[in-house]
Amino acid sequence: MQLKDLYQGFRHPETIHTLAKSIAEHAAKVDETINIMEVCGGHTHTIMKYGLLQLLPDNINFIHGPGCPVCVMPKERIDHAAALANLPDVILVCLGDMIRVPGSKGSLAKWRSEGCDIRPIYDPLDTLTIAKENPDKTVIFFAIGFETSTPMTAVLLDQAQHQGIENIYFHINHVLVPPAIDAVMAEPKTKVNAFIGPAHVSVISGAKVYQPAVDKYHTPVVVSGFEPVDVLESILQIVKQRTENKAELEVQYNRSVTYDGNVAAQAMIDKYFDVRDSFRWRGLGPIANSALKLRDEFRHRDAEIIFKEHLPTTLIDDHKACQCGDILRGLANPVDCKVFGRGCTPETPLGSCMVSSEGACNAYYRYGGLTAKKGTSNAK
């Protein structure tokens, strides 16, 4: 089997047209607007990149959710990374995309150009090699991401423990999807009445984590894969639920996601992490129980504790004109924002949603225009 066999069928033009037609037929029976929040930035990217909005009827709208790990990191956390990178004999290791996210005094790419040793990696386990090759250095892994990437950090910590590699520390910024859904639904003005559930996150967490949202808010949640056929099939499942006035949890991405998820990975996460009382999300503000930290017994590896005196404590909000908060709550669309594409571009992002390719504003900026036509009316 080749890699292309895994995705080609999910980009099959005839299948895409058939699904789009079926969605239109079913949506015609619904006399309301279905406002679907795709929680995960990967789905935002799929919808925009493959021009799926152009294939859908007018009463299906997308509201782009807060599921982009790079986007939801507040500037003060990036400032932490910069402060750590500026300490003597420190190598700061982070996942690739993180390096261009601006903090209050510039991005990690800028600090790297000024001589800080900052290494973007693809596989967190590369940190082990870096630490072994540099025994005299303090190697700090700046960990970000949702449930998808948390197990990789846990495995890194597990390996560091087992191999006795003492010079690896962790700055943990892992966040959780369900509390973010609750934060969106806590907004009285929200128009969201259906969710597309994340793909990779759900592989780890299982679909079970969305059952409370289905029960509490009476909204359909369909866990979807990232390919165009996946997303369209999920939309069809949502529309069918609306026509039958149902609100159920379904898994479209059943080739990878089970109800219970990856139990071994969950155990690994539990072994090394605790839930934080509160975490401040960029654009959304503080959300209770929405992020993780290292368990107390690993405090000797927790960079937030060990290097506390060097870490700035000032909270930094986005530019006043930036509407990322409203966009992440589904109250505004990227094109509604006054600075979108003017003061705020992927090269000089003012707000979180423009930063990563999975952010809503970035996807609109990159693929927008043609694709975003329908989107302009989403949140009005």
Partner 1 sequence: MPSKSKTVQLSHGGGGKEMDQLIKSVFFNAFDNPILSAEEDAAKLNLSGPVAFTTDSFTVSPLFFAGGDIGKLAIAGTVNDLAMMAAEPQYLSCSFIIEEGFAINDLKTIVNSMAKELHKSGARIVCGDTKVVPKGCADGVFINTTGVGRILNPNVSVKNIQPGDAIIVSRDVGRHGATILMSREGLSLESDLSSDCATLWPIVEQLVATSTPIHAMRDATRGGLSAVLNEWSKASNVGIDVDEDAIPVADEVKGLCELFGFEPYDLANEGTFILAVPKAAAAGAVEIMKRYGNCEHAAIIGHVTEAHAGKVVLTTPWGSHRYLDLPQGELLPRIC
Q: 150 Cβ partners below 8 Å, 6+ apart?
A: 143, 174, 204, 269, 273, 292
Residue choice 55, 82, 90, 265 for contact with partner 1 (CB under 8 A): 55
Binding of residue 367 to partner 1 (CB under 8 A): yes
Residue choice 75, 77, 200, 329 for contact with partner 1 (CB under 8 A): 200
Binding of residue 286 to partner 1 (CB under 8 A): no
Binding of residue 149 to partner 1 (CB under 8 A): yes
Residues 326-365 close enough to bind partner 1 by CB under 8 A: 346-347, 356-358
> Looking at the chain, how many residues does it have?
380
Q: Are 282 and 69 in contact (CB under 8 A)?
A: no
Binding of residue 374 to partner 1 (CB under 8 A): no
Binding of residue 150 to partner 1 (CB under 8 A): no
Q: Assign 148 to helix, strand or coil.
A: coil
Residue choice 13, 88, 164, 188 for contact with partner 1 (CB under 8 A): 13
Residue 328, phi then psi, degrees to nearest 5: -70, -25
- Taking CB under 8 A as the rule, which mask of x and - marks residues 303-322 in contact with partner 1? --------------------
Residues 102-131 close enough to bind partner 1 by CB under 8 A: 109, 120, 122-123, 126
Gap between the Cα atoms of 283 and 107, Å rounded: 18
CA distances from 139 to 79, 213, 303 (A): 17, 39, 10
Binding of residue 17 to partner 1 (CB under 8 A): yes
- The residue range among 79-87, 96-104, 262-270, 335-343 that interacts with partner 1, by the rule CB under 8 A, is 96-104
Binding of residue 205 to partner 1 (CB under 8 A): no
Which residues share a beta bridge with 222?
A: 196, 250
Q: Which two tokens stand for residue 119?
A: 């290494």
Indicate the pairing of strand 194-197 with strand 285-288: unpaired
In angstroms, give the least distance from the CB of 33 to partner 1: 21
CA angle, 220 as apex, 191 and 282 as ends, to 5°? 50
- Which residue, 214 or 344, has its beta carbon nearer to partner 1? 344
What DSSP letter does each residue of 202-245 carry, written as one string? HHHH-GGGGHHHHHHH---EEE--SSHHHHHHHHHHHHHHHHTT
Binding of residue 54 to partner 1 (CB under 8 A): yes
Residue choice 1, 4, 136, 314 for contact with partner 1 (CB under 8 A): 4
Q: Which two tokens stand for residue 257?
A: 């996601």
Binding of residue 184 to partner 1 (CB under 8 A): no
Residues binding partner 1: number (CB under 8 A): 47
Catalog residues that contact partner 1 under the rule CB under 8 A. 2-4, 7, 11, 13, 16-17, 42, 48-52, 54-55, 69-70, 95-100, 109, 120, 122-123, 126, 144-146, 148-149, 200, 228, 346-347, 356-358, 366-371
